[in-house]
Amino acid sequence: MAASPARPVSPEPSVSPGGLVAAVQVTSTADKEHNWRQCSALVRRAAAQGARAVFLPEGFDFIGDSPQHSLQLAEPLNGDIVGRYRQLARECDVWLSLGGFHERGQDWESTGRIYNCHLLLDNSGAVVAAYRKLHLFDAALPGAPALRESSFTNPGRELLPPVPTPVGKVGLAVCYDLRFPELSQALRGAGAHILTFPSAFTVTTGAAHWEVLLRARAIECQCFVVAAAQWGRHSAARASFGHSLVADPWGTVLAQCGEGPGLCLAHIDLSYLRQVRRELPVHGHRRGDIYGALPGTAGTGTAGTGTAGTAGT
């Protein structure tokens, strides 16, 4: 087995791009004020420790007791919740990844459904990207309540190009998107340095697959992976696995949360990323011209022009 490439001397944290990131872990409930207090305190703590970008999990705004409850609690992008986080980004001078916001989109009145929206805010509080989850989680697992996200959520329609940030180019995804490697490869092909998967994995799937999938995406795409996660019991019917983590392009877990709310910090070293890609140039060896030739398959594709820089439909 090949040894991990020796890490070069890391640049000073102030060198851009690259730097310290934080993956937050919380236990959201249907109480939006409780969730705001929990998340904002952790963002402030991460900023005080030097994080340049802070990543929050899916459902940071709330986790409803039922699909109907989630629809009632959802807000548009110009609502109170996003406004608070825009102000928080400005106050803390950090970029914020708000993964899995329950968005009442422009088609709310006609569809009565929401989007699972991953927002990226810069340190001025501007919304620089709004990715809407492509793959909706519909599953009935033994010993767990059936979850059918598609019953109240619209799927997104496009994959956004990676967004330049002070810590590198960030590719946006949400939770269940993790299980579709084509999405990650498309983001890697479009220039991503960091893949981010804000999540609320079930206890069953998390124990079996969470770290395995995240490390696999990091290894095969040769990207850093930042995965903020929900942890613990949200209601009588639902609980999440937790274990927020950051992995490097070799698949090494650099930082990971344990039990309970909190955060983990890791340094994004883009010189190490370039070294891994140079010494094991798997991306250049891919045969995308061949893979799509098999019946029932398609090429990995590339990220589209998307709506980075806007909060489009």
CATH code (residue 275): 3.60.110.10
User: For a pLDDT cut of 90, what percent of the chain falls above it?
Assistant: 82
Q: Between 313 and 188, where is the model more confident?
A: 188
Residue 241 in this model has a pLDDT that exceeds 90: yes
Which member of 39, 92, 117, 133 is catalytic? Answer: 133
Domain assignment present for 293: no
pLDDT at 305 over 80: no
Cα separation of 262 and 250, whole Å?
25
The alpha-helical segments, DSSP class H, found in the chain are 32-48, 67-73, 80-92, 108-111, 181-189, 203-221, 270-279, 282-285, 288-291
Average pLDDT, the chain: 90
Number of structural domains the chain divides into: 1
Task: Let me know if residue 2 belongs to a domain.
Answer: no
Bridge partners of residue 16, in order along the sequence? none
**Active-site residue flag, 169:** no
User: CA 131 to CA 108: how far, in whole Å?
Assistant: 17
Range of weakest confidence among 2-16, 91-105, 155-169, 267-281:
2-16
Catalytic member of 58, 103, 149, 211 = 58
How far apart (Å, rounded) are the C-alpha atoms in residues 215 and 210? 9
Confidence check: pLDDT of 302 > 60: no
Active site (annotated) includes residue 58: yes
Q: Indicate whether 212 belongs to any domain.
A: yes
Q: Establish if 57 belongs to a structural domain.
A: yes
- Would you state the pLDDT for residue 295? 78
Q: In which band, very low, low, confident or very high, does the pLDDT at 6 lie, cut at 50, 70 and 90?
A: low
Residues contacting residue 98 through CB under 8 Å, at least 6 positions apart: 56, 60, 61, 82, 85, 118, 119, 120, 121, 198
Preceding omega of 17 cis (within 30 degrees of 0):
yes
Query: Which of 168, 176, 240, 196 has the alpha carbon at shortest distance from 55?
Result: 196
- Our answer to whether residue 39 is catalytic in this structure is no
User: Domain range holding 229?
Assistant: 19-135+149-285
Q: Does residue 239 lie in a domain region?
A: yes
d(CA 186, CA 26): 29
Query: Does position 137 have pLDDT exceeding 70, yes or no?
Result: yes
Confidence of residue 83 (pLDDT cuts 50, 70, 90): very high
Q: What does residue 120 show for φ and ψ, rounded to 5 degrees?
A: -120, 120
Average of per-residue pLDDT across 85-107? 97
Q: How much of the chain exceeds pLDDT 70, in percent?
A: 89
The larger pLDDT score, comparing residue 9 to residue 32, is at 32
Q: What is residue 5's predicted lDDT score, i.e. its pLDDT?
A: 63
- Among 191, 255, 248, smallest CA distance to 229 is for 255
In a domain, 36, yes or no: yes
Tell me what pLDDT residue 15 has.
Answer: 35
8 found inside a domain: no
**Which member of 39, 92, 117, 175 is catalytic?**
175
Which pLDDT score, from 0 to 100, does residue 308 have? 35
